[in-house]
Copies of this chain bind each other. A is one copy, B any other.
Amino acid sequence: MTSIYILGAGLSSTVLINYLIEHSEKYDWQIVLGDTDLRLAQKKVNKHPRAKAFQFDVLNPLQVEEVAHKADIVVSMLPARFHAIIAKFCIKYKKNLLTASYISPEIEAMQQDALEAGIGIFMELGVDPGIDHMSAMRVIDRLKSEGAQLTAFFSGTGGLIAPQSDNNPWNYKFTWNPRNVVVAGQGTSMYIEKGQNKYVPYQRLFKNTLTTSIDEYGDFEIYPNRDSLKYRNVYGIENIPTLLRGTMRRKGYSQAWDVFVQLGMTDDTYRMEKPENFSFRDFVNSFLPYSESESVEEKLKTQLPELIDNTVLKKLKWLDIFESISVPKEAQTPAQILQFILERKWILEAEDKDMIAMQHQFEYIRANGSKGKLISSLVVIGKNQSETAMAITVGTPLAIAVKKVALGEFTQKGVQVPVNPEMYLPILEELEQIGITFNEIES
């Protein structure tokens, strides 16, 4: 019997857990689910005879070691910062580890140790990162095999609200970790265009978006996501003159979000001094100069004339950001306060459905010298509150990979991302069987 440990039983794990439990009888697996919240883990395994729950605290190294010792395969769905400690013990006990998170510098540094232990640390197996890599690489490898030369690759992914549940002026709700949305993009984003490296600091990030559309789903905008430059190596397209990976939002989102960025409301590095009854309106006013005569709304227009127009003001007002509603004591940094304000309004209702949108655009010169363009788009709509589009697209490719590792079909060693056909082909094929299918338009 193969013992598969899943660490983290939150919303994003549901589809993964169900997939593995469903296949447990057939393949003779035992599924062991750990979470700080034992009841949550118990609920998720639902007394299945091949699954059990336990109370797991990643901050207890003895417990992490015990997991690595007992497990045959470890799957971490915990926040990315915890993967390194888990990987350390997986190396010690020579157990394969799989996650849906970006390779961190700490994980990258374990390459040699993982190779020597003879294990695979399979990373970036969710949707973004994950399905984005796999679907892009399938097209890139196909074009290469046809003798085409890639001249540009743009790629965007967004976790959004489905059109049928889209009923607010931001065309956005939290469908994923709200904190990550609030602090998204901090630092410098990098991409390459026509052979020129471009560096976009946070304060410019939401000002220069690309726009695109997906058939039947309307318009989107894309802002650059982290370091696209390194994907020239990861994707084996070292000489491509244009490469940009980005985050998708509905049109108009970025200009309004930029108001928060410019004012400093997304800063998570200091605690604000908050007097009694500190309100949403006081919060906004804290980032605007004092004025004897101008209102908060007027000062906002004076300070950010290039950003504030009627559509942006409508978005801001809809959030109640100019109201005298009290900020709770627990919210202390600007980012925490902004998150509180947003969570009141951007919350998924019980009947709401989320949406994952992804689009790749490839430009190339064919072997015969003609220019080609291929647009490959994916939209996944959530089924219900637990089987969200995010949980499906993060959990399913990861679960398939776990299955392949358990069956001895994925035998790669070292730190891996799914960019080789031995990995991406079987995963994409199985995803297609459940309707996760890219629509390709070539011109």
Closest CB-CB distance, A163 to chain B, in whole Å?
Answer: 30
Could you tell me which A residues sit within 8 Å of B by CB distance?
Answer: 187-188, 193-194, 196-204, 207-208, 229, 261-264, 267, 269-270, 272-273, 282, 285-290, 303, 305-306, 334
Closest CB-CB distance, A203 to chain B, in whole Å?
Answer: 4
Contact across chains for B201 and A272 when beta carbons are under 8 A apart? no
Residues on B with beta carbons closer than 8 Å to the beta carbon of A194:
290
In angstroms, Cα B197 to Cα A334, docked, is 13
Residues on B with beta carbons closer than 8 Å to the beta carbon of A262:
201, 203-204
Residues on B with beta carbons closer than 8 Å to the beta carbon of A269:
187-188
Residues on B with beta carbons closer than 8 Å to the beta carbon of A288:
198
Contact across chains for A264 and B204 when beta carbons are under 8 A apart? yes
In angstroms, Cα B344 to Cα A365, docked, is 45
Contact across chains for B264 and A196 when beta carbons are under 8 A apart? no
Of A269, A282, A287, chain B has the most CB atoms within 10 Å of the CB of: A287
In angstroms, Cα B179 to Cα A171, docked, is 44
Contact across chains for B264 and A203 when beta carbons are under 8 A apart? yes
Residues on B with beta carbons closer than 8 Å to the beta carbon of A187:
269
Contact across chains for A208 and B289 when beta carbons are under 8 A apart? yes
Given contacts A262-B204, A264-B188, contact A289 B229 (CB under 8 A): no
Contact across chains for A196 and B290 when beta carbons are under 8 A apart? yes
In angstroms, Cα B285 to Cα A194, docked, is 12
Contact across chains for A264 and B334 when beta carbons are under 8 A apart? no
Closest CB-CB distance, A227 to chain B, in whole Å?
Answer: 9
Contact across chains for B286 and A199 when beta carbons are under 8 A apart? yes
In angstroms, Cα B229 to Cα A432, docked, is 58
Given contacts A188-B270, A229-B273, contact A199 B290 (CB under 8 A): no
Kindly list the 10 A-B residue pairs having the minimum CB-CB distance in the complex, ordered from nearest. A201-B264, A193-B290, A203-B203, A194-B290, A199-B286, A197-B273, A208-B289, A199-B287, A199-B264, A197-B286
Closest CB-CB distance, A102 to chain B, in whole Å?
Answer: 17
In angstroms, Cα B263 to Cα A264, docked, is 17
Contact across chains for A334 and B273 when beta carbons are under 8 A apart? no
Smallest CB gap from A283: residue in B = B199
Of B197, B208, B264, B273, the residue contacting A272 (CB under 8 A) is B197
In angstroms, Cα B264 to Cα A165, docked, is 38
Closest CB-CB distance, A358 to chain B, in whole Å?
Answer: 23
